[in-house]
Structure 1
Amino acid sequence: MRDYVAGIGRTIAVRAVVGMFVLVGGLFWHAVQDPGGRADGARAEDGGPAVCRPIQEGEPAGYPAMCAALNRPGLAELVGAPGERVVSAGVGSYSPWETGAAQVRVGKVKAAVSESRTVPYDLLLDSARVSAREVAPVAGRPAVAYAEQLHWMTVNLGTGGSGPGSGSGSGRVPVPQGDPGTAYHLMVARNADGSGGSLEVSLWREDGGFADSGLLPALAEKLMADLDGWNAPPLPAEPGQPTRPPRPSPSPTPFRPFGGR
């Protein structure tokens, strides 16, 4: 019994830490953007669409393939921003446990994709900060969608500063003006039983729009068709691991990307 309780404690701790990093990472990414939406990527030049910048040392090895898959023709329509152009494309924010990540900004919509071989698809299903959720399969794999209202934050970088309001020994990232918008997420399991890690597709909308019915699943299926390890029928379970039955949706929700708003 003691080992069982200890195991539960470790599981809760891991989920809490991962959830904290996901939240802080996303908010930090919003806080450090310049007004042009740099997104740590290549900027559009001469009025044309932005291209993915080359991978840099220390970045996830899967970034080039993911950026190429995400920065695709017709992306504006896929993210619900028809007529807009790609203004930046790069790696965006990522965590140490992610094997690939990419982020593209289309007008006032930011689209991101990331892959983890360890983070389960339903990690945030029980998180209090997740305001809406739904579980339904995508391309034969278990998936969960959720939405969250974003908020600006000031990040203390611990560097020295001077001048009005700087304070001794403190450095702060300027807080952008305006509404940071709403983020919509879809996490898809690698395997049919929910094991094997996850692929997350995210949209940040700063234009007051919604993620229409089917938008996230359709984008995820397009990306999976171009990504190694995702462009084949899912395995029934992670080799050598016990089966992991997909979890049901815990409650009704107004956010329904699989079947309507």
Structure 2
Amino acid sequence: MREYMAGVGRAVLLRAVVGMLVLVGGVFWHSAQGRSSDGERDDGPAVCRPPEPDWPSGYPALCAALNRPDLAELVGAPGEHAVSAGIGSYSPWETGAAQVQVGKVKAAVSESPTLPYDLLLDDPRVSAREVAPLAGRPAVAYSEPLRWMVIHLGTGSPGPGAVSGGGRSPGGTAYHLVVARNADGSGGSLEVSLWREDGGYVNDDLLPGLAEELMADLEGWDGPPLPAEPGEPTRPPRPSPSPTSFRPFSGGR
């Protein structure tokens, strides 16, 4: 598994995952905002969309955990409420994924039993770094610029099916926190992401708090981490900084 993730395999996987986030995520959110059938209710916060047959089996649990009453406070948008809640983007390596928009802030969570938490750590194209462990589990944080592709679905000019990109399309930066299931870094990973629809800044301190709240409500993450996945070789954890303020994207410590 580790050999496959290295070299060409790692580059291909990175392009697939990031590309899916930008394209599929953009299609989902720009189409969902104009259709109440995507989980938005006129009389209050959005509810999670019913799962479809081809969606990952873990979607209902992840969406229920993410679409929580206190999400607005956890993502730094007090007073707002969920305007859409659904699957978002996901890859073939993930067993669950969910995405919720609260005001201008979008939050996403995904789970994989195979992708290592530190997959992107050695890739020079990604601003990833090891951060302080979270709930006894090693973690990596990274950021990426977003360039949304807007798909017009018959809701206005320039016409049904037209595609536009570049220019003043919504973008900004997405911030991610990837946590290992087990204390030695094995057992797959859970990824939590935040970004703003208007391209505004997301406080990095929000990600650890949101991740901890989600893990407390998810089976397999709601207890002390295992020392290692049964039957898997022990993976020595990478050196982590002492627990300090979570500032991996601002030239911090």
Query: What range is the shorter-chain TM-score in?
Result: 0.7 to 0.9
Assess if the C-alpha contact under 8 Å between 2:177 and 2:208 holds in 1: yes
- Is the counterpart of residue 180 in structure 1 residue 171 in structure 2? yes
Partner of 2:21: 26
Q: TM-score, normalised by structure 2?
A: 0.82
Assess if the C-alpha contact under 8 Å between 2:146 and 2:172 holds in 1: yes
Question: Matched residue of 1:212: which SS?
Answer: coil
Question: 2-side partners of 1:40 and 1:19: how far apart?
Answer: 33
Larger Rg: 1
Assess if the C-alpha contact under 8 Å between 1:151 and 1:180 holds in 2: yes
Of the three residues 97, 100, 105, the one matched with 1:109 is 105
CA shift at 1:113, angstroms?
0.4
Partner of 1:99: 95
- Is the counterpart of residue 221 in structure 1 residue 217 in structure 2? no
Question: 1-side partners of 2:235 and 2:103: how far apart?
Answer: 40
CA shift at 1:144, angstroms?
0.6
Q: TM-score, normalised by structure 1?
A: 0.80
- Is the counterpart of residue 15 in structure 1 residue 6 in structure 2? no
Partner of 2:154: none
- CA shift in 2, pair 1:105/1:83, >3 Å: same
RMSD: 2.9
- CA shift in 2, pair 1:69/1:47, >3 Å: same
Q: Which amino acid in 2 is paired with 1:117?
A: P
Unaligned stretches of 5+ residues in structure 2: 152-157
Assess if the C-alpha contact under 8 Å between 2:111 and 2:191 holds in 1: yes
CA shift at 1:86, angstroms?
0.6
Q: Which moved more, 1:188-197 or 1:133-142?
A: 133-142
| CA-to-aligned-CA distance 1:40-59 (integer Å, 9 cap, x gap) | 98342224100001111011
Question: 1-side partners of 2:197 and 2:31: how far apart?
Answer: 12
Q: Which amino acid in 1 is paired with 2:101?
A: R
Assess if the C-alpha contact under 8 Å between 2:172 and 2:199 holds in 1: yes
- Is the counterpart of residue 81 in structure 1 residue 77 in structure 2? yes
- CA shift in 2, pair 1:132/1:14, >3 Å: closer
CA shift at 1:11, angstroms?
2.9
- Is the counterpart of residue 56 in structure 1 residue 52 in structure 2? yes
Assess if the C-alpha contact under 8 Å between 1:40 and 1:91 holds in 2: no
Question: Matched residue of 1:142: which SS?
Answer: strand
- Is the counterpart of residue 210 in structure 1 residue 201 in structure 2? yes
Report how many aligned residue pairs link the two structures.
236
| CA-to-aligned-CA distance 1:4-34 (integer Å, 9 cap, x gap) | xxx8576323322221111100110244242
Assess if the C-alpha contact under 8 Å between 2:120 and 2:126 holds in 1: yes
| CA-to-aligned-CA distance 1:123-153 (integer Å, 9 cap, x gap) | 1112233235342200100001111121235
Partner of 1:197: 188
Of the three residues 219, 238, 242, the one matched with 2:233 is 242
Question: Matched residue of 1:236: which SS?
Answer: coil
Q: Taking every aligned residue pair, what percent have the same amino acid on both sides? A: 66
Partner of 1:4: none
